[in-house]
Amino acid sequence: MLLKAAESVTLEPVQAGIGIRWLIKDDAPNFAMRVIEIEPGVVFSPHHHPYEHEIYVLEGSGIVTNSEGDVEDMYPGVFLYVPPDEVHGYRNTGDVTLKFICVIPQ
Amino acid sequence: MLLKAAESVTLEPVQAGIGIRWLIKDDAPNFAMRVIEIEPGVVFSPHHHPYEHEIYVLEGSGIVTNSEGDVEDMYPGVFLYVPPDEVHGYRNTGDVTLKFICVIPQ
């Protein structure tokens, strides 16, 4: 059994103002658990890939976007399912870091 | 894309003082996201099964246990990887509901 504090895992840069912590990856046979952190005002541009996301918002506030613009509000306690190949992006609209769990297959 | 508040999903009883919300299940091809909620003082007895858990603690405090007793503290921001077939249980040692995300393969 592995137990750790998420904050103890290195925040790796994705792009300016966006980082990722790979909480569970190498030990796991089927899916990986990460935390994505987006600074205030920063946009994670809409993109797509052939695998799904299962997301749970931990802190902060923002918007999930698709190729046409804003879609719905993200705030703590909200979960999202993004199917494979669906366009999605994020925008932090608050004044603190937007943090969410994002699980992907592996 | 599916986006909802976790609190809007029905809390289904598991046993007295323990409930589960199935956040993402039927839409998802590879793994399911649930929230487990354990009331203060309640024990989820040690058990095992042939699939892994990926866990992230949201609220409350408790202990993760194995067949020999207490193992480590659970508190918000802690994540756990429980490998397939490993014995694990939980005990809420605080005075509020212990809530954690628990992802399983499907």
Kindly tell me if the per-residue pLDDT of A14 is higher than 90.
yes
Task: Establish if A6 belongs to a structural domain.
Answer: no
Chain A, 27 to 86: residues with Cβ < 8 Å from chain B are 27-31, 33, 52, 54, 56, 58, 64, 66, 71-72, 74, 77-84, 86
Kindly tell me if the per-residue pLDDT of B58 is higher than 80.
yes
Task: Establish if A104 belongs to a structural domain.
Answer: no
Kindly tell me if the per-residue pLDDT of B82 is higher than 90.
yes
Give one word for A32, left, alpha or beta, with left for phi > 0 and alpha for psi -120 to 50.
beta
Q: pTM above 0.90?
A: yes
Alpha-carbon gap, residue B22 to B32, rounded angstroms:
8
Q: What is the mean pLDDT of residues B45-51?
A: 95
Which of A36, A65, A81, A85 is best to mutate for the B interface (most B CBs within 10 A)?
A81
- The predicted complex's ipTM stands at 0.96
Name the domain count of chain A.
1
Nearest CA in chain A to B86: A1
Task: Establish if A103 belongs to a structural domain.
Answer: no
Task: Establish if A38 belongs to a structural domain.
Answer: yes
Task: Establish if B4 belongs to a structural domain.
Answer: no
Alpha-carbon gap, residue A87 to A44, rounded angstroms:
12
Q: What is the reported pLDDT for B69?
A: 78
Enumerate the residues of chain A whose CB falls inside 8 A of the CB of residue B1.
Answer: 64, 66, 71-72, 80-83, 86, 88
For position A87, which CATH number holds?
A: 2.60.120.10
Task: Establish if B6 belongs to a structural domain.
Answer: no
Q: What is the reported pLDDT for A66?
A: 84
**Mean pLDDT in chain B?**
96
Partner-chain residue, chosen from A7, A29, A81, that has the shortest CB–CB distance to B2: A81
Range of the domain at B34: 11-105
Q: What is the reported pLDDT for A89?
A: 96
Alpha-carbon gap, residue B95 to A5, rounded angstroms:
21
Kindly tell me if the per-residue pLDDT of B44 is higher than 80.
yes
Q: What is the reported pLDDT for B39?
A: 98
- At B45, the pLDDT band (50, 70, 90 cuts) reads very high
| Interface contact A87, partner B, CB < 8 A | no
Q: What is the reported pLDDT for B50?
A: 97
Alpha-carbon gap, residue A65 to A73, rounded angstroms:
9
Alpha-carbon gap, residue A96 to A41, rounded angstroms:
9
- Inter-residue contact A103 to A33 (CB < 8 Å): yes
Model confidence pLDDT, tens digit, residues A37-92: 999 999 999 999 999 999 999 999 999 998 787 789 999 999 999 999 999 999 99
Q: What is the reported pLDDT for B70?
A: 76
Kindly tell me if the per-residue pLDDT of B32 is higher than 80.
yes
